[in-house]
Amino acid sequence: MITCFYSAEDPYVSLNTTEETLENGNLVEGTSGYRNTVNVKFAKVESRSKAKLKIIDGVELVEEQIYEKRVLKSLDAYWVDMWAVNGDVVPSMKVLEAWNLGYSGRGIYIAVVDSGIDIYHEDLRVNMRSSYHYDFVSDDGDPSPVGSVTHGTNCAGLVGAEKDNNQCIAGIAYNANLVGIRLISILGTTDVMDGTALSHEQSTIDIYTNSWGSEDGHGFNSIRTYTYAAIEQGIRTGRNGKGNIYVFAAGNGGLDDNCNGDAFTRSRYIITISSINSDGVSATYAEVCTPALAVAYGGGGGTNKYLYSTSPMDLCTGRHGGTSFSAPQAAAIIALTLEANPQLTWRDVQHLIVRTSKKHDLLGRKYNWQINGANLSVHPVLGFGLMDAEAMVKTAQTWRNVPIQCTYTSLTQNPHRDLKDVALRLF
């Protein structure tokens, strides 16, 4: 069928042929021979009820085009600035597509372990779960930031800011339950503080998002004893035995630094996330980071776009950039994935990220993509590519759990043999 559309408000002009008259959308005269050709042009309209049209042969239906109101995908004040989510840049993290499938993080608990969160922010308070908040710096139940510190509130907004409330932005997991954990301050942290924060409410919290770590460029360090035990416990018993999900930012030391030196980011229990800019190139601050599983948009750097998010005192601010802001977005995408399949284990989530992240045409400064032993493209800065929320939730729906992770440690033997004697025997 070939259709000719017209609009009384915005008339078009057709090429010449037989003039026809429409009344209430129906052809009433001169209809002979109008089914025979394939080229159709729009016609000029004089009124809604009675339209004078110039119709080319071949038209089977003429339909009035009426303007209908169209709205943005979100009513949030800064939706147009949410380029990492709203489809303004290519490639996309496919968040809108995951939302359209019905996933918003509902039922998932995400702890934002950071420098404090404004739990009363107009764009956050609906999703805050006050009975689980804690401040491990002041040792009380109020994780609010002190002074002008904004970092934790910025991260929280990217995770779970309320959607369609005319406030600031919409978090990727805009229906998730948010838990504020204040851990970071100018005092630093102890082993017990780190471990207690990362095991806080382990049976309730599904995901811990962390945009902090060791200082950039300060060599190698290890996860301290208590903290390591706490994370291992979360992996083994958290989420009713399916394992808590720990997400960490890769770090902002640039290519002269290496995230392998950070104890948390190189742990097999941690999902490490790095950043790309809006132009599809690894961010200038992104480190060499072989533990990185994937990247999310981080914002900032040169002429690239920055991210907008919530700030204390009901503010909404821009110029946010860094792996600190990629990790919360990754945690939120994982929340959508757990909503799609609550039975996923911590290992399943890592497999899904690896299998669904996309290489696209992403460029890593200085380094090139390689093919690993599993025949997958991997990059020493970009991991397995840009996270894809739609692919994550779709794949999760039918995912079969991978086996539990097994390790084997052999006995260490000391034969008390002279190495020179061994060498002589070998050669």
- Rounding to the nearest 10 degrees, give the CA dihedral for residues 396, 402, 404, 406: -130
Distance between CA 79 and CA 218 in Å, rounded?
39
Phi-psi region of 37 (alpha: psi -120 to 50; beta: other; left: phi over 0): beta
Beta carbons of 232 and 269 less than 8 angstroms apart: yes
> For the purposes of burial, counting CB atoms within 10 Å of the CB of 290, is it exposed (0-12), middle (13-18) or buried (19 or more)?
middle
How many Cα neighbours within 13 Å face the side chain of 114? Answer: 33
**What's the Cα-to-Cα distance from 167 to each of 156, 331, 360, rounded to whole Å?**
14, 22, 33
- Which residue is it, tokens 């040792």? 139
Task: Show which residues are catalytic.
Answer: 114, 151, 324
Q: In what order do the strands lie in the sheet with 19-23?
A: 26-27, 19-23, 50-54
Q: What share of the chain is helix, strand, coil (3-state, %, to 5)?
A: 20, 20, 60
H or E segment at 54?
Answer: strand 50-54
Residue 367 structure tokens: 């380094």
**Cα 43 off chain centre by:** 46
Measured on CA atoms in the order 128, 129, 130, 133, is the torsion positive or negative? negative
| Buried-state track 313-336, b at ≥16 Cβ within 10 A, e below 16 | eeebbeebbbbbbbbbbbbbbbbb
**What's the Cα-to-Cα distance from 270 to each of 136, 212, 222, 247, 293, rounded to whole Å?**
21, 13, 13, 6, 10
**What's the Cα-to-Cα distance from 234 to each of 211, 229, 410, rounded to whole Å?**
19, 9, 25
| Buried-state track 393-424, b at ≥16 Cβ within 10 A, e below 16 | bbbbeebeeeeeeeeeeeeeeeeeeeeeeeee
